[in-house]
């Protein structure tokens, strides 16, 4: 595996100074210590070509001894798989850690001047719209640099699938999840916290083994489109004009304003608004204005 790490690094383009070496897909600090060290050692000859190392791990697998070790190998970002800040939800989903572990680990990571990332899952078993909003509020209080948001997907041959089959777990719908995650995006944006991932990455195993839950290949686009719709509708209602309304957005937001399969235009038409979308370089990204 070490040789594979070295091969991957060597195959990269020379201009990697703004890139990070990343160890994801598991709990890096929870694996066998010798194996973890061998992976870190493999980065040593190349680390000067990168801005640092990013890892993901469990909140209960962080302490000062581990952080000192990671700092030595120039780990610059740690993402914690917090998933929820509600202890009942964490217990119900067998996460094996508490919200207090997330708080403690987050404070330690920041004390060591390592960038903090937090990962949350929406629509978990025993969670609700309110508990997910509360998780986001508690994330915000911890002041992470980045956040990832993953809607829950039910996979084959899991305990969650059995709960679903038994009728004990009803997953959020796509519409409910878009509404929730669009609100979460706004909350984190208001506090200058970057949401660096929203929705699961595509994989063949995801498509093959998914039983239920929320997955869409353009999930973030759906959420941003919802935000644009809500902003446009608010302005339209305030101006109290319905005919020949010209909505201005930045060029990069035209498709978001139009919506997937023109869904935003259709909805506005159904509400009685005759709208036209206009590109404007004067309108900030993700903002909406009306042409007077």
Cα separation of 143 and 138, whole Å? 9
Are 145 and 238 contained in the same domain?
A: no
pLDDT value, residue 244 = 84
Q: pLDDT per residue over 133-192, tens digit each? A: 999 999 999 999 999 999 999 999 999 999 999 999 999 999 999 999 999 999 999 999
Are 212 and 285 contained in the same domain?
A: no
Number of domains into which the chain is organized: 2
**Among residues 189, 217, 245, which one ends one of the domains?**
217
SS3 212: strand
Sign of the Cα pseudo-torsion (66, 71, 73, 74, in order): positive
Element at 125 (helix H, strand E):
none
**Among residues 163, 184, 217, which one ends one of the domains?**
217
In a domain, 105, yes or no: yes
pLDDT value, residue 273 = 93
Are 272 and 168 contained in the same domain?
A: no
Are 191 and 238 contained in the same domain?
A: no
Q: Which domain holds residue 273?
A: 228-290
Cα separation of 180 and 130, whole Å? 10
Residue range 78-85: average pLDDT?
98
Q: pLDDT per residue over 231-287, tens digit each? A: 999 999 998 888 888 999 999 999 999 999 999 999 999 999 999 999 999 999 999
Are 189 and 244 contained in the same domain?
A: no
If pLDDT is split at 50, 70 and 90, which confidence band does 2 have? low
Asked if residue 13 has pLDDT above 60, the reply is no
């Amino acid at each position: 595996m070490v040789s594979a790490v070295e091969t991957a690094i060597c195959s990269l383009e020379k201009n990697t100074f703004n890139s990070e070496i990343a160890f994801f897909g598991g709990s890096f600090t929870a694996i066998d210590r010798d194996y973890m060290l061998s992976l870190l050692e493999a980065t040593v000859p190349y680390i000067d070509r990168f801005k640092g190392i990013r890892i993901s791990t469990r909140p209960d697998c962080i302490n000062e001894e581990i952080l000192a070790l990671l700092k030595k190998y120039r780990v610059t970002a740690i993402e914690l798989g917090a998933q929820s800040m509600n202890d009942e939800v964490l217990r119900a989903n067998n996460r094996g850690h508490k919200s207090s572990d997330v708080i403690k680990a987050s404070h330690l990571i920041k004390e060591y001047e390592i960038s903090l990332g937090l990962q949350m899952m929406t629509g978990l078993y025993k969670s609700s719209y309110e508990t997910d909003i509360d998780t986001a509020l508690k994330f915000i209080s911890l002041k992470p640099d980045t956040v990832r948001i993953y809607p829950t997907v039910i996979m084959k041959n899991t305990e969650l699938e059995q709960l679903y089959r038994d009728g004990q777990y009803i997953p959020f719908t796509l519409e409910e999840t878009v509404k929730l995650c669009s609100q979460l995006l706004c909350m984190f944006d208001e506090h200058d916290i970057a949401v660096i991932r929203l929705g699961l990455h595509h994989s063949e195993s995801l498509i093959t083994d998914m039983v239920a839950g929320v997955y869409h290949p353009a999930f973030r686009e759906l959420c941003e489109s919802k935000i644009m719709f809500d902003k446009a509708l608010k302005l339209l209602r305030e101006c109290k004009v319905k005919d020949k309304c010209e909505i201005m957005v930045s060029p990069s937001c035209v498709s978001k304003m139009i919506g997937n399969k023109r869904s935003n235009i259709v909805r506005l038409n159904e509400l009685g608004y005759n709208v036209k979308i206009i590109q404007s370089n004067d309108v900030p990204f993700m903002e909406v204005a009306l042409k007077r």
